[in-house]
Structure 1
Amino acid sequence: MALLLATVYWVHRDAALRGRRGTPVYFSAGSIEVSKPATWALGCLCLWIIFMPLYLTCRRQAD
């Protein structure tokens, strides 16, 4: 549980920092759009097995 919460915190903080720098982490598929730090964190909290790899992939593409 602690690892889950630590990664959720890291995702939120990392996404917020990247957004302030002008390189937000963004994902879009059809009508689904994930671009805000809180949305990334909530996704990781609820569906970590899907959102964590997705975040890391989108983060790499944002660089």
Structure 2
Amino acid sequence: MTTLIPLAVLLGSVGWVYQDASARARRGTPVYFSAGWIELSKAATWALGCLCLWIVILPLYLTCRRQAG
């Protein structure tokens, strides 16, 4: 049970990031980040990044989301 809660939080936040990034892209205000060869601009890229490096990508998404308006 103790491993299911963090997994649910991870999957829930990945799903939210994907849905939010998709909605923002449809409205014409995509969430975008670029540093060197790393580019995060599509909903699937944000979600995959969040799934792999949640502790880094989720705060980055929230910061870029706020800057995107």
Pick the TM interval, shorter chain.
Answer: over 0.9
Scaled by the length of structure 1, the TM-score of the pair is 0.98
RCO greater where, 1 or 2, for CA within 8 Å and sep 6 or more? 1
Scaled by the length of structure 2, the TM-score of the pair is 0.90
Whether 1:30 and 2:29 are equivalent positions in the alignment is: no
Deviation, structure 1 residue 45: 0.4
Q: Which runs of 4+ in 1 moved over 6 A?
A: none
Secondary structure of 2:31's counterpart equals coil
Is there any run of 5+ residues in structure 1 with no aligned partner, and where?
Answer: none
TM alignment of 1:45-60, pairs within 5 A: 45-60=51-66
Taking the aligned partners of 2:12 and 2:36, their CA distance within structure 1 comes to 30
What percent of counterpart residues are identical? 73
Secondary structure of 1:33's counterpart equals strand
Is there any run of 5+ residues in structure 2 with no aligned partner, and where?
Answer: 1-6
TM alignment of 1:35-46, pairs within 5 A: 35-46=41-52
Q: How many residues are treated as equivalent by the alignment?
A: 63
